[in-house]
Amino acid sequence: MSSSVILPDDIREYHDPPEQVQEKIEQLMELIRNSKHMVIFTGAGVSTSAGIQDFRGYLTLAKQGIKSTLSDFTKIRPTIEHVAIYKLFEAGYLKHLISQNTDGFHLRSGIPITSISELHGNINIEKCPKCERSYWRKHDVRDYEIEVKGTHERIRHTTSRQCVYCHCNLRDTVVNCFDRTEGPHLFPLETAQDHLKLCDLYIILGSSLTVYPANYFSKYINCQQKPVVIVNLQKTSADDIASIRIFTEIKDVLIRLCEGFQLNINSGITDLETDLNFKEMIIMPYAIRKLDCIKEKTEYLKKKSETELMMFLTERRIAYEPPADAKIRKDHLVATVIRHCRKTVYWV
């Protein structure tokens, strides 16, 4: 390992010699081949090449009354790193993704919402505090006003829009550094923990692991005696427990993994150019998305009114002719809704 420029310890970058990087990537490929439930954790390092302005940057602008340019999504797009991670998911190697990034790029690159835990929220998602429906927008949903509570100041979470079902004011889902324990978007932690219990290979990309719960997850996996792999240019708090520690660009590792597994990254890049995966939609609450067996889905749907079930189908432009016999209409509707959402654990 050799250091490049002399910088303060926490931001100093290290680079493994090329032959060592290659050797470590081959070891990593072997671990991936033998893994049944690989989980990747991503930090800011996977998004920096997209030109993302970090939270401190927009807070400074907000205090000056200037609306950040972060909301201009026509200019900021997911990167090749996001595409490569999606390709690993699509090919079945990656089972779940945990991210502390709020830029929403993993979702935009094609990772389904059921396969990602966005621990710090998503700037494109606003949520109804009453019915817990989430709305995935094509723009940054945050309102940049500063709210003062006692001696504390913070970004106001209420957005200017309302839930179409219960008319409550929607809240953005981004967990800011002064939110303490009252962050509006805590449910991803539960999903992440569900997958960490199953995880047999944990890969950390682009995080120095200084923030809770990121620093705790790697220790948990290590206690389970499962391998932890870290790719980051700076040192991290979990380096001493890593089975493989790679000091190189994340892009370098991901591209070579895709090449090694014969995954075509270029096809993913074409999709991103037109943002085919980025569609506005309503996401049902986590508790409902978790219902992955037909019996539970049926029980849940039976409690819905016929009007609600019809609305579900109409919103998805699903042609449906209800049977004339009123006695069987409800069961028929429930069966139709299930048929149309069998492939998805969540109902959008």
Summarize the annotated binding site as residue ranges.
Answer: 128, 131, 163, 166
Total number of residues binding Zn ion (CB under 5 A)? 6
200 by Cβ neighbours in 10 Å (0-12 / 13-18 / 19+) ranks as middle
Stretch that binds Zn ion, among 30-38, 109-117, 122-130, 241-249 (CB under 5 A): 122-130
Closest CB to Zn ion among residues 165, 178: 165
Residue 195 CB, shortest distance to Zn ion, in Å, is 27
Which residues fall in the annotated binding site for Zn(2+)?
A: 128, 131, 163, 166
Annotate 220-237 with DSSP letters as a single string. Answer: HHHHTT--EEEE-SS--T
CA separation (Å) from 220 to 207, 224, 246? 17, 6, 20
Residue 326 CB, shortest distance to Zn ion, in Å, is 29
Residue 149 CB, shortest distance to Zn ion, in Å, is 24
Is residue 120 annotated as a catalytic residue, yes or no? yes
Closest CB to Zn ion among residues 26, 280: 280
Stretch that binds Zn ion, among 23-31, 126-134, 193-201, 269-277 (CB under 5 A): 126-134
C-alpha R_g of the chain: 22
Using omega within 30 degrees of 0 as the cis cutoff, is the peptide bond preceding 78 cis?
A: no
Closest CB to Zn ion among residues 160, 266: 160
Which one, of 250, 213, 228, lies nearest residue 120 by Cα? 213
Which one, of 27, 80, 9, 6, lies nearest residue 227 by Cα? 27
Residue 278 CB, shortest distance to Zn ion, in Å, is 23
Which residues 127-166 are close enough to bind Zn ion by CB under 5 A? 128, 130-131, 163, 165-166
Residue 187 CB, shortest distance to Zn ion, in Å, is 15
Of 82, 96, 106, 120, the catalytic one is 120
- Measured CA to CA, the distance from residue 169 to residue 158 in angstroms comes to 7
For residue 19, the tally of other CB atoms under 10 A from its CB is: 8
With tokens 């002064």, the residue in question is: 178
Return the SS3 of 96.
strand
Closest CB to Zn ion among residues 32, 128: 128
Closest CB to Zn ion among residues 146, 164: 164
Which residues 163-222 are close enough to bind Zn ion by CB under 5 A? 163, 165-166
- Interface with Zn ion (CB under 5 A): 128, 130-131, 163, 165-166
Residues known to be catalytic = 120
